[in-house]
Structure 1
Amino acid sequence: MSRFCVYLGSREGNSPAFRQAANALGTALAQRGHTLVYGGARLGLMGELANATLAAGGQVIGVMPDHLVEREQAHFGLTELIRVANMHERKATMAANADAFIAMPGGIGTFEELFEIWTWGYLGLHEKPMGLLNTDDFYGPLLTFLDNTVGHGFLAQPTRDMLQDAQTPKALLDALEAQL
């Protein structure tokens, strides 16, 4: 059906809920007939998500710059691993291969990817649905901050509303699929 780009950590984090959510999301993507597009690593939440998608019979496209193949330990068991020259090409390739975007818990790379794709949507460069998988209330403080930003007049409510959020993979996929 659709291709879902998922941004998430190359580390597992310190809560088992994060791994469980990655597994549940990967399984749900495959069961719903969606293809996963992600950063291509075999470690951390990235590896968990890819392995769960593959184990459930799904297709997985990884995108990784050459300079990170060793550092992030590329997953060579994917349906397709696209090697690119740099991070800019990685993000553009992931976006071009996606119909929707999800951010799971992660670090600065995840945040940077999320905010860039959201900004691209705001600027009209795409009209693809975007959402946060708010596992274990990981994104709760960010959501409060974004609502505060609206309250202070620096972010318009329609722009804030572009970013969906849900606590379970099922709820988030339902919301994003409704916008496809």
Structure 2
Amino acid sequence: MIGNEIENALQALQQGGLILYPTDTVWGIGCDATNPDAIRKVYDLKRRADSKALICLVSDIRMLEKHIYELPDVAYDIIELATRPTTIIYDKPLNVAPNLVAEDDSLAIRVASDEFCQKLIRKFKRPIVSTSANISGEPTPSHFKEISSEILKGVDYVVNLHRDKKNSNPSSIIKLTNDGVVKVIRK
């Protein structure tokens, strides 16, 4: 079952489409983090200002290192010691679409802990966007059944896994700068 879902989601991602998928936190809208047109579709679907940055997921530390100019040493400790999903905002991202990078030249990235996400990203060989499956300003759905029909109709593929599972909270967010500043954005 998981293999079929990975193949179907992979096909949508490779064609520049949007997927709706379960993550290690909440249901997410995803796309190829290196494809500016796909990222524009996410902003349009969510009716979100493109000045509000999106998060992306990587499969592991090796992939993370390929997408950050300089990975601060403390990032390894935070990732290893975190007891819940933790997104880190890094300076100077590399090899992602320009419209994914925030105005201050930073990018929020999380190493996925969910098995489906890890396998999908590894097979795709690129980071994928992960933003909550809601219209901007509306509550984040805690169950699949709470996702609006507008979101469901606006994506190219809806992953058929974990639809009966209650989602956990959004990830913690920490900002790390290359000059050593650590700032908690969301606990």
Does the TM-score normalized on the shorter chain lie above 0.5?
A: no
Give me the TM-score of the superposition, normalised by structure 1.
Answer: 0.27
The higher relative CO (CA closer than 8 Å, separation ≥ 6) is in 2
